[in-house]
Structure 1
């Protein structure tokens, strides 16, 4: 009969053999190894930062889970805004303000005349478009911006900032309304259009008065 102590020693010897330890280590999957290493890393980090705290395994696991949730949420939010901005920019590039070829030789005066014609006809959406283009082409004549068929209103706003920050802010407000009406097909009320028209008229009048003063 084998002595009980000898049997225990034999078992202990087997358990401490390298091949058995390797088996135990390799028995974990890659994800388990990765998860355990992450938990260990956070546990050590918190132990260094807060030496008075002795983080248990569950504490480290909880921290890892919370951080992973936060990271995933940040990635989703960043992805949402990236896709939204990409779609918006693609749409604006597809429908740039100067996209109609038959208007390529028009000046701002022609667009103002067309806006008045559309206003009388009750087509306030197109009237809004032509008023905005009149302002844009006037800025082009003044060399505040360089009007191109492929440019977006955002790019024009950035060009204006180099000349006049206040003028750029006014332009961007008008451009937002233009985008909503022309591309977003938002309905235009007459009072809103008249306010839009007066704002653009004031900007043009101010610039023309400055030209006269300089002349």
Structure 2
């Protein structure tokens, strides 16, 4: 509803106009210039700030002082990083013993020398994953052929390494690492390379030249 001033203006035939401030309008237009927003926070920064504000409110509501919020955030970040490292090092839950893959699959080379030849062929072609798998199979098959290990088709790499380490204790740690390499390759958590293959090849040669430690032996 018009006020008294507007009624008076209408009665006098003078059109009603809204007063404008030229200086204020010019400042508003100038602020639209992108140059004034060059240092504005980016969208990710705004999202992060918003998350921080929500955390501030949430933590404040449960009595956490504002000065301790940065410490809490840093602690959470450290936990996330540690969890990621453990996941990478230990592997996904699928590496549970109950689902471990047998060292020897169905078909393929049968004797140690055949596994060694297959490994060498894969290595020559740069197929390091296959070379690593066949080389460890050659090592364990060789121990079976020497009757140092019983032939057991369902044996896993970890089981084979543990059993071989008991009769060849000087190689127990290297055998354990070899089994870990095999598992990493099988599950695709790490990529095999020439170094991994060469390490297994050297271990195979060392194990082949080793004499077993028999139960009850004093020498």
Which structure would you say has the larger Rg?
Answer: 2
Structure with more of its chain in helix, by fraction: 1
